[in-house]
Amino acid sequence: MVNALGSSLDEIWPRLVAGDQSRLRLRDDLVPGQALRFGEVAGELAAIPTALAAYACRANRLGLSAYTGIRDSVESSKARFGAARIGVVVGSSTGGIAEAQAALAQWSRSGSMPESFRLVQLEFGGMAEFLAGIAGLEGPRYTLSTACSASAKALVSARTLLELDVCDAVVAGGVDTLCGLTANGFVALQAVAKDLTNPMSRNRSGITLGEGAALFLVMRERGGVQLLGAGESSDAHHMSAPDPEGKGAEACMRAALADAGLEPGAIAYVNLHGTGTPQNDATESAALERVFGRPIPCSSTKPLVGHALGASGALEAGICWMMLRRRDGARIAAPPHRWDGVRDPDLPPLALVPEATWIHAPPPAAIMSNSFGFGGSNCSVILAEEPE
């Protein structure tokens, strides 16, 4: 995993549990006339090999940087199952749009495209093709683009490929990058925070955009962290606004619980979609109250890494994975909910995680992550530990 907090799990984890917001960078080059904060991945990214130069774009460099963390496991699985039995499913909403913007800008100035630009850098399908090429995999490979639910759905799709016996292992997750088109689009929607995103606050004013990549190797083996349950729903309410009553959010959380065979009381923590927009926070908090009927420890991690859109589901599932793998006996460390502390009296009261909080959650602990996207495309996943 790579995001604004770091380029490895060991870098990300201590900053995550400390609630470190110092990595969000002020930039004035994405939206004309405005300086806004973004969750940008810092430092040098992995280089695209010459043989795959046609795929050279920041999105694929982010994906490759994340892939290095599972490379050894993929190679081991390839030796065990064969390249044709390992698939690739990733989620994204921007892909290589930044490179396409630069190419079109040059074309408008000079009448010619950059020699290095290839359409496959922009195509969503190119992302899965690139990762398959890097890993030498020959199984099914495709990219999902369902806005903010995309990479959570990629994990569910990976599980389905295993259940159908199409694959024996699947590289699954999400990648998204910052670009001017996306930033200006959200500014035009009046959905970007004036400073930092402030989820669940009376003073919330919008999102802080981010970028990153998270990849898993999904397999059938028991033990360790399991994708225990998943639920999906579609509001079909509006192109960009959620159903105002949160019916879609409620439906997918209930579906995830049913799929996992769990009662709401079995969930120890919820990673909120928590964008900091007026509508998301109102609908999500109302849906949480109806599903759980009690204040459940929860937090949004978007104030720490930004909203990485199509990659956010995988990034936040990765955060939940780390919480389970880095437990301390019967307790797990939960990332703090960074906000101004001013509660909105119109929202149901939530048990937002304060700083340095340990949650009592003896194994097998189950935690939920929510991803609610444009057009009402919703996905909730439940991760849980299983004895090795």
Catalytic residues: 148, 273, 307
Q: Say how far apart CA 181 and CA 187 lie, in whole Å.
A: 10
DSSP 358-378: EEE-PSSPEEEEEEE-GGGEE
* Widest pairwise Cα distance in the chain: 63
Dihedral sign for Cα atoms in the order 227, 229, 234, 235: negative
Report how far apart, in Å, the C-alpha atoms of 227 and of each of 14, 161, 222, 321, 371 are. Answer: 24, 14, 10, 10, 15
**Can you say whether residue 123 is alpha, beta or left, with left for phi > 0 and alpha for psi between -120 and 50 degrees?**
beta
Tell me how far the alpha carbon of residue 191 is from its chain's centroid.
19
| H or E element, residue 161 | helix 150-163
Q: Say how far apart CA 16 and CA 12 lie, in whole Å.
A: 6
Dihedral sign for Cα atoms in the order 155, 187, 288, 308: positive
Q: Say how far apart CA 332 and CA 65 lie, in whole Å.
A: 27
Residues forming beta bridges with residue 207, ordered by sequence position: 192
Q: Say how far apart CA 192 and CA 189 lie, in whole Å.
A: 8
In eight-state DSSP terms, residue 214 is: E
In eight-state DSSP terms, residue 6 is: B
| H or E element, residue 57 | none
Q: Say how far apart CA 298 and CA 351 lie, in whole Å.
A: 6
**Token pair in block for residue 310:** 């199509």
10: exposed, middle or buried (Cβ count in 10 Å: 0-12, 13-18, 19+): exposed
Q: Nearest Cα to 299, choosing from 282, 279, 319, 318?
A: 319
